């Protein structure tokens, strides 16, 4: 999932630290934030839509577990506990294992929300027109700007 076995340097006390570039460490940090956000998002969606079908709510909880695992792995990489991953890529690819892991974490975390709450694109113009009618009927914001801006 994450590229960790780059250039290992041995310290004098015998421990090994993986030399991760600053770009890769940035990707790991972003993966930490993304996985934490998507964990919270899926918990929130499971709570909001708890009355819906069990398959939908179960998918939110399943992705919560996966995002928690991604968070723990990324945290262990960030701290330096995990130093190698046995998944090898062919040389010369423009992406590495860290990029692939972050993309998978993002895609897996957003999948249930995108799948269960999708909008048909053919209905989108009709919905926009209906929203415009509703806004004209309600006349938008009824409070003066100074009241809701402070």
Q: Where exactly are the structural domains of the chain? A: 7-119
- In the block, which residue shows the tokens 């909001």? 48
Find the length of the chain.
Answer: 150
Q: 3-class SS at 81?
A: coil
- CA of residue 80 relative to chain centroid, distance: 22
Close Cβ partners of 64 (under 8 Å, ≥ 6 residues apart): 39, 42, 43, 46
Summarised one tens digit per residue, pLDDT across range 111-138 is 888 888 777 778 888 888 887 887 777 6
Cα–Cα distance list, 64 to 28, 122, 146 (Å): 19, 31, 41
pTM: 0.63
Which is it for the CA torsion 59, 120, 104, 109, positive or negative? negative
Indicate the angle between helix axes 22-48 and 54-79, nearest 10 degrees. 160
Summarised one tens digit per residue, pLDDT across range 70-116 is 999 889 988 888 877 777 888 888 888 888 888 988 998 888 888 88
Q: Closest Cα to residue 71, out of 98, 46, 34, 107?
A: 34
Q: What is the largest CA-CA distance in the chain?
A: 74
Summarised one tens digit per residue, pLDDT across range 30-84 is 989 999 999 999 999 899 888 888 998 999 999 999 999 999 988 998 888 887 7
Q: 3-class SS at 140?
A: coil
Q: How far is residue 26's CA from residue 8's CA, in Å, rounded to a whole number? A: 19
């Amino acid at each position: 999932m994450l590229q960790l076995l780059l250039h290992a340097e041995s310290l004098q006390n015998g421990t090994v630290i993986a030399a991760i570039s600053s770009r890769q460490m940035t990707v790991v940090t972003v993966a930490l934030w993304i996985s934490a956000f998507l964990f919270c998002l899926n918990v929130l969606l499971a709570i909001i839509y708890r009355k819906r079908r069990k398959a939908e709510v179960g998918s939110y909880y399943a992705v919560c577990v996966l995002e928690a695992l991604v968070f723990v792995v990324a945290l262990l990489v960030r701290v330096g506990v995990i130093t190698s991953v046995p998944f090898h890529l062919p040389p010369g690819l423009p992406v590495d294992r860290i990029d692939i892991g972050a993309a998978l974490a993002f895609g897996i975390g957003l999948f249930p929300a995108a799948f269960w709450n999708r909008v048909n694109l053919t209905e989108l113009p009709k919905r926009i027109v209906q929203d415009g009618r509703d806004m004209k009927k309600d006349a938008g914001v009824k409070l003066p700007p100074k009241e809701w801006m402070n």
